[in-house]
Amino acid sequence: MSQPVVICKGIQKEFGAGADAVQALRGIDVEINQGELFMLVGPSGCGKTTLISIIAGIMNQTKGECLVLEENVSVMSSAAKVKFRAKNIGFVFQTFNLLPSLTAAENVAIPLFILGESKKAAVKKAHDLLDHVGLKDRGISLPSELSGGQQQRVAIARALIHNPKIIVCDEPTSALDHETGANVMEMMQKLSKEHGTTLIIVTHDNRIFHYADRIGEIDDGYIKAIHAPETTLGRPYA
């Protein structure tokens, strides 16, 4: 049986202070296993993006414990977090977060740059991966020269390039048509099954629910239920 690579216990996250404080997460308990494709669904503002940001070490929780690959990332220094993410975690942001002055291939290669790989080797790997996500010959394009869907695929390729143990995705198919979204999900699912990569995906797109091994429903800062995808198919999550 696969071992958990993410263990969240009593995770709470509060933004602000005093009377203006907002409780985004109120007590999240969840374990996500190696090689699992785990989706998080729920209404907008329910805490999904906050939770994956904590898992990825981009944000610290207010209370509770989050162990990722047996490491408590929240206690690491900023430099140690950057190195940990560069080695172990890929993140697909909903807003893409591409650097406007870099080409598509250079954006994809960023994790390899952080890990110390030469620019020439890293960019070549990036061009090869862009071919796999349907962006052949677009590697020299700047983000401003790409459509939203193309930028999304660049962001997905950047998350895959360094073969991370965990990939965290915030609405990875939101800017993609159905066929491209299906191709991306099939590629991610194959990665998960062949390499034991764990995928944690926030989504409203019920067209991709069937790719999941398990689906966790978040509402009002809690995980209300975790179940198989067939029990979730067809449900809208606005």
Q: What is the CATH number of the domain that holds 176?
A: 3.40.50.300
Is residue 22 situated within a structural domain?
A: no
What is the residue range of 120's domain?
35-49+76-231
Is residue 215 situated within a structural domain?
A: yes
Q: Which residues of 35-66 are buried (b: 16+ CB within 10 A; e: fewer)?
A: bbbbbbbbeeebbbbbbbbbbbbbbebeebeb
Is residue 81 situated within a structural domain?
A: yes
Interatomic CA distance for residues 34 and 1, integer angstroms = 9
224 burial (CB, 10 Å; 0-12 / 13-18 / 19+) is exposed
Counting the structural domains of the chain, the total is: 1
Is residue 150 situated within a structural domain?
A: yes
pLDDT band at residue 236 using 50, 70 and 90 as cut-offs: low
Is residue 11 situated within a structural domain?
A: no
Question: Mean pLDDT, the chain, as a whole number?
Answer: 90
Q: Is the pLDDT of residue 238 over 50?
A: no
Is residue 59 situated within a structural domain?
A: no
pLDDT of amino acid 201: 96
Is residue 139 situated within a structural domain?
A: yes
SS (H, E, C) the chain: CCCEEEEEEEEEEEECCHHHCEEEEEEEEEEEECCCEEEEECCCCCCHHHHHHHHCCCCCCCEEEEEECCEEHHHCCHHHHHHHHHHHEEEECCCCCCCCCCCHHHHHHHHHHHCCCCHHHHHHHHHHHHHHCCCCCCCCCCHHHCCHHHHHHHHHHHHHCCCCCEEEEECCCCCCCHHHHHHHHHHHHHHHHHHCCEEEEECCCHHHHHHCCEEEEEECCEEEEEECHHHCCCCCCC
Q: Are 168 and 55 in contact (CB under 8 A)?
A: yes
Please give the model's pTM, rounded to 2 decimal places: 0.88
Encode pLDDT of 125-137 as tens digits.
Answer: 999 999 988 898 9
Encode pLDDT of 143-200 as tens digits.
Answer: 999 988 899 889 989 998 999 999 999 988 887 888 888 888 888 888 788 888 999 9
Interatomic CA distance for residues 53 and 72, integer angstroms = 14
Is residue 41 situated within a structural domain?
A: yes
